[in-house]
Amino acid sequence: MSIRLRLTLLYSAILALTLGIFGVALYSIQAQGTLDSLKTDILRSSERLVGATLNAGLLHPPQADEAPPPKPFNEFSGEPAFQRLQEREIVRILDADGALVASPFGRSEDALPLSEAGLAAVQSQQEWWENGIVSGENMLILSRPLVREGKLVSIIQVARALTERDRTLRSLAATLTIAGLLTILLAFGAGWLLSGFTLRPIQ
């Protein structure tokens, strides 16, 4: 292998490593930033629903047998927080045992995923974040305990679709990959010419 080729490959390898580190860092920052922004929006929405849920008088005691069917939101509460829900937000109200109490259309199949670990965490009065598939879409779901006088009285779930975020991240990854490969190819050609010019006096 000639010295010229070795220098060109070394230069290209250093550039590829630098671009790779930069790309991974940029992707990670973008992914975490969009996730944090989404979580902030969900938390704000859940804050508005806490008081509205308490005003609706949702203090169902645990059911010994079968839980009652869920109510549609227009029957559950007349609070503005429930009547003005944004379409992109998916909201569910559960009782302290995790049974669905209220949803937009009052259907049992409207329930959002809540794992056993998540239910245990919420019953311990802790917020719980998890991802779940709803109607074929990947969702970020916040399950938040609603506490009165130190006791868990209900659970609020607020979910947002991650489809747009995932699509943006895939597009960013593809753009970084293609741009990186093109840059390396151009740099290889420039490095080959530069190394030839530099080594000419030695030859």
Q: What is the pTM of this model?
A: 0.72
End-to-end, the C-alpha distance of the chain in Å comes to 15
Q: What is the DSSP letter of 104?
A: S
Most confident listed range (36-40, 45-49, 69-73, 75-79): 36-40
Are 122 and 128 within 8 A, CB to CB? yes
Tokens of 85: 């829900």
Helical ranges in 56-155 per DSSP H: 73-76, 80-83, 116-123
Name the least confident of 30-39, 60-69, 126-135: 60-69
Pairing of strands 100-103, 71-72: parallel
Q: What is the spatial distance between Cα 56 and Cα 72, in angstroms, rounded to a whole number?
A: 13
- pLDDT higher than 60, residue 63: no
Half-sphere exposure of 63 (CA within 13 A, CB side): 14
